[in-house]
Amino acid sequence: MLEVQRRPAKAGDGHGNNGYINGVLPIRNPATTCEVDEFCFALGGKKPIHSILIANNGMAAAKFIRSIRTWAYETFGTEKAILLVAMATPEDMRINAEHIRIADQFVEVPGGTNNNNYANVQLIVEMAEITHVDAVRPGWVHASENPELPDALNAKGIIFLGPASVSMAALGDKIGSSLIAQAADVPTLPWSGSHVKIPAESCLVSIPDEIYSKACVYTTKEAIASCQVVGYPAMIKASWGGGGKGIRKVHNDDEVRALFKQVQGEVPGSPIFIMKVASQSRHLEVQLLCDQYGNVAALHSRDCSIQRRHQKIIEEGPITVAPLETVKKLEQAARRLAKCVNYVGAATVEYLYSMETGEYYFLELNPRLQVEHPVTEWVAEVNLPAAQVAVGMGIPLWQIPEIRRFYGMEHGGGCDSWRK
């Protein structure tokens, strides 16, 4: 990019001092714009997406840009059919980050911790308004699981490429998702909420606090009592934890006394629950894609059992350690769970699978596209970020060319098969 193009110009008036856009907005080819409209409406969509703000950095942003460019070239004959706008902190600028270099344009945002930029809901909405984008893609981590973001964007008429806030809040929380799994007849391990039942209608709204609290433990004494009920070894887990934080394995009462406060300290304010340890188990997951009309596609499965300190190291796909019949049950249970909350977008349902008994147990649902999604793309031959954009346009799953090919409805049909 030329230096004159990289020099930021302040974007708009009355939007505060945070937003800067690099140079003049690119000139869009009217023919390409019309073609995106034609694509959307020909496949039963509601609202075309011509531009996207990527509220993330690093691999999450760069992978999305490359995937959309590939899809746009295959579908419309030009990789620039969708305008892609990156967010750039001073730190990103200093290292000439890849996602800034390859984006069509970028908007400068404050530096520092992510609550100043990529996790700042108010700032993301402000940047989306400044850049006049049609949609926002959060990626993973940062604001990707904050229910306030889809609500704030929807209030401004901007599409959020992810689930609705109600679904995100219900399933993005480990305790809430386990309660909903039980209501959807998805097997769960013995845990502190095994005795808690919620009515089916609660799946579509927030779980009442008095019911939710029954599944939590608040003191060391309550944690010990719950561990004795589910049986040792057990896990002390923070509902908002992840990436190895807020989780400890305990084998007796003394270890609970020593480690309970550690879990609370690693994820401050998070509800805590107890779950039985599944010994000799594999960590399996199912990739879902859901549209706005209640259709849910299970796009094969993955095995992420090779981990270090509860963080995934190697991801395999599809699952080979379980019988095909069991894998189908995993997929059916995942689809049931997503339909229970009218989920829209990409999601991953995770399970623990016992190699000894052949039984499987719900672990959690991630309400976003995960970093390991390329494994599914390779085995399913579906461009998942592009599918997210199609779902965001309101296109039914059964109309998306790659999904039709995945289900054998169009043998050899490419991304441009919508023209036929």
Q: Using an 8 Å Cβ cutoff, are 125 and 151 in contact?
A: no
- CA 353, distance to chain mean position in Å, is 22
- Which residue, among 330, 329, 311, 327, has the nearest Cα to 319 in the 3D structure? 327
Q: How many whole angstroms separate alpha carbon 182 and alpha carbon 166? A: 18
For residue 274, what are the β-bridge partners? 236
CA–CA–CA angle 332, 350, 174 (5° rounding): 115
Distances (CA, A) of 72 to 245, 262, 388: 38, 48, 13
Residue 368 falls in the annotated catalytic set: yes
CB atoms within 10 A of CB 27: 6
Q: How many whole angstroms separate alpha carbon 244 and alpha carbon 254? A: 22
Phi-psi group of 83: left, alpha or beta (phi > 0 → left; psi -120 to 50 → alpha; rest → beta): beta
Catalytic position from the list 368, 404, 405, 419: 368
Q: How many whole angstroms separate alpha carbon 114 and alpha carbon 87? A: 12
Active site residues: 368
